[in-house]
Chains A and B, each alone.
Chain A
Amino acid sequence: MRIVENNKYSKASRLMILSLFALFVLLPIIYTITNSFMGADEISKYYSNDKQMMVHLIPDKFSLNAYYQMLFRRPDYLIKFWNSLGLTSIIVLGQVVISTLAGYSFAKFKFPGRDTIFFILIILMMMPYQVTLVSNYIVLDKMHLIGSYWAIILPAIFSPFGVFLMRQVIVTMPDELIEAAKLDGANQFRLLFRIVVPRNKGGIVALIILSFIDNWNMVEQPLVFLDNKYKYPLSIFLSQINQSEPGLAFACGVLAMVPVALLFVFFEKELIEGIGFSNLK
Chain B
Amino acid sequence: MKKIISMVLVVLLICPLLTACKNTNEGEPTTDELILRFNVKDGICYEENELNKAMVLYKKKYPNVNVIIEKEESVGGDTEAYYTKLKTDLMAGSGPDIIYTKDWFYIYNDLYKMQESGAFADLTKFIKNDKEFQIDNYNKTLFDSLKYNDKQYIIPATYQMPFFISTKEILKSHNIDMTKCSTSKKLLDELTAYWKRNKDVDNPANLFQYPRCMMFFHHYMGLNSFDNKNKTVDTSQDIFKQALDFWKLAYPYETKKTDVLFFKHKSQMIEEYFKSGKQATGFESYDYQGYFENISALSMIGEPVMTPWRDINGNIQVELSRGALISNHSKNKQNAWNFIKIMLGEESQSEMAFSLTGIPVRKSILTSLFKNNFKEGLQYGNVDGTTTTAKPIDEFYLNQFIEFQNQIKGAYIRFPVDREFFYEFIPYFEGKKSYNDCIKSAESMLKIYLSE
Contacts and interface: CB of A to CB of B under 8 A. Distances in A.
- Determine whether A and B are in direct contact in the complex, meaning some CB atoms lie less than 8 angstroms apart: yes
Contacts of B74: 229
A137 B3 contact: no
Given A113-B2, A138-B21, A139-B17, A223 B84 contact: yes
B91 interface: yes
A230 B5 CA distance: 47
Interface in A129-167: 134, 137-139, 141-142
B20, B78, B85, B88, most chain A CB atoms within 10 A: B88
A112 B5 contact: yes
Interface string B1-36: 011011100000000010011000000000000000
B91 A229 contact: no
A138 B92 contact: yes
B76 A224 contact: no
A42 interface: no
B385 to A, nearest CB: 40
Contact of B76 (A112, A138, A139, A229): A229
Interface string B69-108: 0001111101001001100100111100000000000000
A134 B84 CA distance: 12
A227 interface: yes
A2 B20 CA distance: 62
Contacts of B93: 138
A227 B88 CA distance: 11
Contacts of B92: 134, 137-138, 141
Contacts of A6: none
Q: SS class of chain B's interface: helix, strand, loop or mixed?
A: helix
A222 B244 CA distance: 42
B3 A134 contact: no
Contacts of A138: 21, 92-93
Given A116-B3, A139-B17, A229 B73 contact: yes
A112 B2 contact: yes
Nearest to A120: B10
Given A227-B85, A229-B78, A141 B94 contact: yes
Contacts of A112: 2-3, 5-6
Contact of B20 (A137, A142, A223, A230): A142
Interface string A219-233: 000011001011000
A105 to B, nearest CB: 15
Contacts, number: 40
A277 to B, nearest CB: 30
Nearest to A228: B73
Contacts of B84: 223-224
A227 B72 contact: yes
Given A138-B21, A229-B75, A113 B88 contact: no
A230 B78 CA distance: 12
Nearest to A220: B84
A139 B21 CA distance: 8
A164 to B, nearest CB: 20
Interface string A102-134: 000000000011001000000000000000001
Contacts of A137: 88, 91-92
A77 to B, nearest CB: 13
Nearest to A133: B88
Contacts of A230: 75
Interface string A57-93: 0000000000000000000000000000000000000
A134 B17 contact: no
A227 B89 CA distance: 11
Interface string B110-146: 0000000000000000000000000000000000000
Contacts of A139: 17
A243 B3 CA distance: 53
Contacts of A113: 2-3, 6-7
A223 B81 CA distance: 7
A45 B85 CA distance: 38
A223 B21 CA distance: 23
A223 B3 CA distance: 39
6 contacts: A113-B6, A113-B7, A134-B91, A137-B91, A139-B17, A240-B78
Nearest 5 pairs of A and B residues by beta carbon: A112-B2, A113-B6, A229-B75, A138-B92, A141-B92
Interface of B: 2-3, 5-7, 17, 20-21, 72-76, 78, 81, 84-85, 88, 91-94
Interface of A: 112-113, 116, 134, 137-139, 141-142, 223-224, 227, 229-230, 240
